[in-house]
Chains A and B, each alone.
Chain A
Amino acid sequence: MFKSGFKTGRTLAAAAGLAVTFAAGFAAPASAQDTIKVGILHSLSGTMAISETTLKDVMLMLIEEQNKKGGVLGRKLEPVVVDPASNWPLFAEKARELVTKDKVAAVFGCWTSVSRKSVLPVFEELNSILFYPVQYEGEESSRNVFYTGAAPNQQAIPAVDYLAEKEGVKRWVLAGTDYVYPRTTNKILETYLKSKGVKAEDILINYTPFGHSDWQNIVADIKKFGSAGKKTAVVSTINGDANVPFYKELGNQGIKAQDIPVVAFSVGEEELAGIDTKPLVGHLAAWNYFMSVNTPENADFIKKWQTFTKNDKRVTNDPMEAHYIGFNMWVKAVEKAGTTDSNAVIDSLVGVSVPNLTGGYSAMLPNHHITKPVLIGEVQENGQFETVSKTPGLVVGDEWSDFLPDSKDLISDWRAPMSCGNFNVKTGKCGGKGS
């Protein structure tokens, strides 16, 4: 009994020793040397999880697809997913962890502008690469960040033009959530509208807190503002959760799209999935992509996405397309550079052009923004958008708005001789304002 116990113990020890050797032997081929790591920095919990979880999934899908095609530079890609939990300082910590500890070649992530501003110094300090997929307020250009979402001139201004020309709108309500994106966008729009001859009394600007849920008197105010005998429209930069009660209240108070249309910049297919869309039919959104766009590339993308998520009702949206474009650009640039070294990839990214999902090509510009078509769509009963207007060509992303006094003289060009994110054309010096 005693003896056999001793024997078993020895056998066990020997087995364990063997196992360790084996494990070490097998682990070696799969070590970090042979995969390229890609960081995914999207909130999977907290307030922003509602939007960002989808982007994490789409990145996993794109990486899986690329690996099926044989990876990049003959090496497989390995996603590294972290959860910054909608907590802005945590974004910076997680970004640092991805770059220094996991040694990722590039990071795809962030949604809100605050989170981007929070990680920006980290990427600049560690000289790594961030792809940012969401429409934003502009007024920024960093050597280490590639902005694949829309700048204000690729979303807000074409939308306002459409309303003025096609719907004959003369009076404007600029309604937004109280933070940097709506405030900057509305400032740009206000200057733009005034430059088009709209009088100050025909513009009503209204801000509400995050998650505002009682819209009764604001909607009543909009109705009142719209009864001055001129065609009125609402330009909405209302963010995320506050949209559902806003649209519900519009429907309840009987404001139809044919009377006072609302054009939104933050409402996509994903957001509409939580609303009964019948009362909203005809309200508008401006994006660079709609799920309803009829191209073979898009049909293919939707099919892959629904197979990947095992849900044939899952919708696609604009920031997902931005990641699709950004990821393909990165792959192409890495292959062009022949290495994942940040400096080489940053340089080879400019000028890279890849197919977008709306039947054209998007190119990375020297200012690290991309060219995109602008689409205006009307909400349909099935929660999709029907494109009613598309810009004839691609719109070039303008990082420093021409309609803000602080930034109208600034340009950005990260190519060799200039290599500056805020070159002032008036003074001829780099470093006019901001980062």
Chain B
Amino acid sequence: MHRALCWLLAAFLALAAPAAFAADQGAADLAPLVRGLGAGSYADTEKALSALAGTGDPAAVPVIEALQAGDLHVRKADGAVVVAKRAGSGFALTDPLTGAALGEADRNAVEKIRINNALRRTISATLGALTLMSPDANTRRQAAEAVFKSRDANALDALNTALAKETDERVRRAMTQARAAVLLAGDAADADKVAAVAVLQERGDQDALALLNGAANSVSNGGSDAVKDAAKKAVASVEQRLALWGAAQNLWYGLSLGSVLLLAAIGLAVTFGVMGVINMAHGEMVMIGAYATFLVQEAFRQWAPGLFDFSILVALPVAFLVSGAVGVAIERSVIRWLYGRPLETLLATWGLSLALQQAVRSIFGPTNREVGAPSWMSGAFELGGLTITYGRLWIVVFAFLVFGALLVALRKTWFGLSIRAVTQNRSMANAMGIRTARVDALTFGLGSGIAGLAGVALSQIDNVSPNLGQGYIIDSFMVVVFGGVGNLWGTLVGALALGGVNKFLEPYAGAVLGKILVLIFIILFIQRRPRGLFALKGRAVEA
């Protein structure tokens, strides 16, 4: 709410120069139109909105923005349209045109002006047309994009005027494309349309393709053959370009899915791969990590909402320690009695996983818990024809960081040396003074802690519910077995390979069949190479 207010204020100030002048003489003319916004049905609001936009008066912009933000209300007493901001238990009212304070009102004294999808479209189109002359380059560019999407023929004059004055290269390009979209969708001269096709072909993204397709197949708006031919050629060239980018996009999706698999499996690579414990409760360690993230975020919401963006960073060590501690407890209480008895371990840990799920369900309830994304993890950016979402990008980076850290820990630290020593030859390690029981507990804790880290990442893309872990346990085992038990690099290659294969199969075979095909592939592969991609050689294997 507060941010919206600041934003509104900024927008208002940005427009202050032309608006201050317009507000004086314009307010009187606009007032009845603004009042019309609160007339009743969606259709009435839309009519009033178009009339408001038709004035071309920049003073209307804050009003429309308030409507978009859902701040515009009707005062029930006299039917006046006001901006209402929550203040205490009631609302603080201001006049939408002049910004003058109108006192406070009870919650029931005002009624919100509701908007639906059709209105939302009209709002972004009109805002686009009205803010083309804004002094801020970014606002102008967004305005041009809005016009590009709305293809509103009424915006053409404003667009031409704005283009003539525009100096910023990027904004200019956006405006040219918007102009081309308007021309192509409207009824312009053939020559203009052909020129527009060329501009759109250069833009060459999905939105441009949509427009070009429309022009190539149009029968309604009387496009001539010349335009249609040009559009068809442009469609072919854009499609070819997009197909290339599509392959790159698939590669990225594969990498992204692979990194998720890697994160889920890497903890298992320690407990199953290094220690040889079939831990069916591995998924629940991931789930506990996700719930730890939820708790940390709740704490932030409660006590430090301003620092919410850092909550994930705090959640990392917390999740690692919580899951790790649970892991150590499991090892000490159950698993250590079952070393060398894989079947019993499997059953015991499976039972544990059910118990943990139900425990979490009893404590936190069966419904999903909301884990928010920090601002630096939401949204996406375009890289050529690729759309890359920040959340996925960070997860890829994070997966490799965790992998690297684990590799260093196993290779370069005393603890890592002990783990390797105990794995390779337990009795010899014992004889050399290593407390093998303690190393076992800590190794299991390490694997569980890493699963907790995975939980932090997965809380960003999946449900935080008691069933979170179940979805990953099979995949994790598949990755570890495919990559080669006991080999971290195998886990890395296995995860990325399975992710990639899955994503390349999905467009052709569909998600369900794709998954089945991957499973069949792994079964056949394990028949040929029972020890996975990178088989360990030597003593440990035979033991």
Contacts and interface: CB of A to CB of B under 8 A. Distances in A.
Interface of A: 44-45, 47, 49-50, 53, 166-167, 178, 206-209, 211-214, 216-218, 220-221, 223-224, 226-230, 241, 244-245, 248-249, 251-254, 257-259, 261, 270-271, 273-276, 282, 378, 381, 386, 388
A273 B253 contact: no
Contacts of A378: 116-117
A368 B515 CA distance: 40
Interface stretch (B48-56, B131-139, B157-165, B369-377): B369-377
A154 B211 CA distance: 36
B463 A274 contact: yes
Interface string B47-80: 0000000000000000000000010000000000
A224 B387 CA distance: 12
Contacts of A224: 206, 242
Interface stretch (B323-331, B334-342, B432-440, B504-512): B504-512
Interface in B470-487: 470-471
Nearest to B462: A213
Contacts of A388: 42, 116
B214 interface: yes
A229 B200 CA distance: 14
Contacts of A275: 368, 370
Interface of B: 42, 70, 114, 116-118, 120-121, 124, 149, 206-207, 209-215, 217, 242, 249-250, 253, 256-257, 260, 357-358, 361, 365-370, 372-373, 378-380, 387, 389, 391-392, 461-467, 470-471, 503, 506-507, 510-512, 515
Contact of B515 (A206, A209, A216, A223): A209
B379 A252 contact: yes
20 contacts: A44-B366, A50-B467, A208-B512, A209-B515, A211-B471, A212-B511, A213-B462, A213-B463, A214-B461, A217-B250, A220-B249, A220-B253, A223-B206, A249-B389, A274-B367, A274-B369, A276-B370, A282-B116, A378-B117, A388-B116
Contacts of B361: 45, 49
Given A178-B512, A207-B512, A386-B114, 19 more contacts: A44-B366, A50-B366, A167-B117, A206-B511, A217-B250, A218-B506, A223-B206, A227-B206, A227-B210, A228-B210, A244-B368, A245-B461, A245-B462, A252-B378, A253-B389, A258-B117, A258-B121, A261-B117, A282-B120
Q: Which of A44, A49, A223, A226 has the most B CB atoms < 10 Å from its CB?
A: A49
B333 to A, nearest CB: 23
A223 B210 CA distance: 10
Contact of B217 (A209, A212, A229, A253): A229
Contacts of A276: 370, 372-373
Given A216-B253, A221-B507, A241-B465, A258 B368 contact: no
A217 B463 contact: no
B369 to A, nearest CB: 6
Shortest 5 CB-CB contacts between residues of A and residues of B: A274-B368, A229-B214, A227-B210, A229-B213, A49-B366
B395 to A, nearest CB: 11
Nearest to A213: B462
A159 to B, nearest CB: 14
A376 B91 CA distance: 29
A209 B510 CA distance: 10
Nearest to A256: B120
A420 B181 CA distance: 60
Contacts of B120: 257-258, 282
A241 B380 CA distance: 24
A50 B368 contact: yes
Contacts of B149: 259
Contact of B471 (A213, A229, A248, A253): A213
Contact of B463 (A178, A207, A218, A244): A244
Nearest to B210: A227
Contacts of B116: 282, 378, 386, 388
Contacts of A253: 380, 387, 389
A211 B117 contact: no
Contacts of B209: 227
B370 A274 contact: yes
A213 B471 CA distance: 9
Nearest to A251: B378
A207 B510 contact: yes
Nearest to B216: A229
A136 B271 CA distance: 43
A378 B42 CA distance: 13
A220 B387 contact: yes
Contacts of B506: 217-218
Nearest to A53: B366
A209 B463 contact: no
Nearest to A217: B253
Contact of A274 (B114, B212, B464): B464
A226 B206 CA distance: 9
Contacts of B387: 220, 253-254
Nearest to A206: B510
A224 B503 CA distance: 16
A259 B121 CA distance: 8
A50 B466 CA distance: 9
Contacts of A251: 378
A259 B150 CA distance: 10
Most buried by B among A226, A274, A386: A274
Nearest to A276: B372
Contact of B124 (A214, A258, A386): A258
Given A208-B511, A209-B515, A270-B367, A214 B260 contact: yes
Contacts of A50: 366-368, 465, 467
Nearest to A311: B365
Interface centre among B114, B257, B461, B470 (most CB of A within 10 A): B461
B123 to A, nearest CB: 9
Contacts of B42: 388
Contacts of A216: 253, 256-257, 392, 503
B74 to A, nearest CB: 16
Nearest to A274: B368
Nearest to B511: A208
Contacts of A274: 367-370, 463-465
B505 to A, nearest CB: 10
B463 A273 contact: no
A209 B118 contact: no
Contacts of A227: 206-207, 209-210, 213
A182 B117 CA distance: 26
A276 B217 CA distance: 39
Contacts of A273: 367-368, 370
B495 to A, nearest CB: 13
B253 A229 contact: no
Contacts of B217: 229
A248 B461 contact: yes
Nearest to A383: B370
A383 to B, nearest CB: 10
A271 B465 CA distance: 12
Contacts of A261: 117
Nearest to A275: B370
A223 B245 CA distance: 14
Contacts of A211: 467, 470-471
A178 B514 CA distance: 13
A378 to B, nearest CB: 6
